[in-house]
Amino acid sequence: MLFGLLATLGVAGGWAGLAHAADAPNSGTGLTLSMAVLLGIVQGITEFLPISSDGHLALGQAILGLQGGAGGHRFTIVVHAGTLLAVVWTYRDDLVALARTVLRPAQDSSERRLLLAMLVASLPLGLAVLPGVEAAIVAMESQVRWVGVWLWVSGLALWIGFRHERLHPPEHPGATPTLRQAIIIGFAQVTAILPGLSRSGMTISSALVVGLDRAMAARFSFLISVIAVSGAVAKEVLGVALGHGDEAPIDAAPLLAGFVTSLVVGLFALRGLLLLVGRGRILGFVVYLAIVGAIAIAVG
């Protein structure tokens, strides 16, 4: 309850700060240091809470008037790298155990089965690199009304997942996902490329629907995010290195500020979400998504 209140206040404070920054004079250089910090706070909170970080970043950038040419999409990747590091740190023991499994491929273990499930769940990510998909997503990020629609879908999925888990408790709590369960969760994950669909919300909800318990659903969701977000970050870095893309250059300081802010805030938000998921307290997020989605649709 206390964490949910603090998270709500944090997002509200972020929106207030963004609105103030949008009203402040801008020299026309695009992303400023203060904007980067505020957007980093929004990313750090919303990446792990099941309310869609991409959707909130898209809304925040729309408020600030930042589009792709101002570094909007590239900044999104940078702050995702910050929250990725928060996941790596939180699940460092799991990741070390999985790495050791790679060195002993012939030895059967729960870690080996978990790693295989993670790889299977990551296969649908290939759909995200099909020709034209990235351009369509970048264009949709500036369509506030569509962001609102997908926020509504996130809320509905979240409600369905946790309601299903309460009505149909898992038969084998703590069990590693089967390959069938993993591929379903993987398809749920790839839908989160749409701005407004929460990656954590879609994956955790789908995991609950296919029979995982809350703890494993959250654990699996964030472990496969390491693969998904690492791939997105690597793709963006490669594009910058090769000089691809039409985004305007951005100063390093705002990018670094956004990265550090999203990392620090993300560490606290992830811990809080794991606590809330364990208790099944997500109704507040459903209501929040419904309200913010309605506002986005109305003003879009």
**Is the distance from CB of 231 to CB of 100 less than 8 angstroms?**
no
Using alpha carbons only, what angle is made at residue 76 by residues 72 and 79, rounded to the nearest 5 degrees? 135
pLDDT at 247 (0 to 100): 53
pLDDT at 244 (0 to 100): 56
pLDDT at 137 (0 to 100): 81
Report which listed range, 40-54, 108-122, 138-152, 240-254, is most confident. Answer: 108-122
pLDDT at 27 (0 to 100): 39
Give yes or no for residue 188 having a pLDDT over 90.
Answer: yes
Mean pLDDT of 109-129: 92
Structure-block tokens of residue 28: 């026309």
* DSSP class of 56: H
pLDDT at 175 (0 to 100): 92
pLDDT at 42 (0 to 100): 85
Mean pLDDT of 276-280: 86
pLDDT at 78 (0 to 100): 85
pLDDT at 52 (0 to 100): 78
pLDDT at 92 (0 to 100): 95
Mean pLDDT of the chain, nearest integer: 82
DSSP states of 232-277 as a string? HHHHHHHHHHTT-S-PPP--HHHHHHHHHHHHHHHHHHHHHHHHHH
Give yes or no for residue 113 having a pLDDT over 50.
Answer: yes
Give yes or no for residue 190 having a pLDDT over 80.
Answer: yes
pLDDT at 72 (0 to 100): 56
Give yes or no for residue 13 having a pLDDT over 80.
Answer: no
Report which listed range, 23-27, 102-106, 128-132, 155-159, is most confident. Answer: 155-159
Higher-pLDDT residue of 68 and 83 is 83
Alpha helices in the chain (DSSP H): 2-23, 33-46, 53-64, 72-90, 92-103, 110-122, 133-140, 144-167, 179-190, 199-209, 214-241, 252-279, 283-299
Residues 6+ apart with CB under 8 A from 48: 83, 86, 200, 222, 266, 269, 270, 272, 273
Number of compact structural domains in the chain: 1
Structure-block tokens of residue 287: 């209501």
Give yes or no for residue 46 having a pLDDT over 50.
Answer: yes
Q: For residue 35, what pLDDT band results from cuts at 50, 70 and 90? A: confident
Mean pLDDT of 19-28: 45
Q: For residue 290, what pLDDT band results from cuts at 50, 70 and 90? A: very high
Give yes or no for residue 221 having a pLDDT over 90.
Answer: yes
Whole-structure pTM value? 0.80
Closest to 217 in 3D by CA, of 278, 272, 154: 278
pLDDT at 104 (0 to 100): 78
For residues 226 and 4, give the distance between their C-alpha atoms in angstroms, rounded to a whole number. Answer: 25
Mean pLDDT of 89-112: 87
Q: Which domain does 12 fall in, by range?
A: 2-299
Give yes or no for residue 222 having a pLDDT over 70.
Answer: yes
CA 82 to chain CA mean position, Å: 11
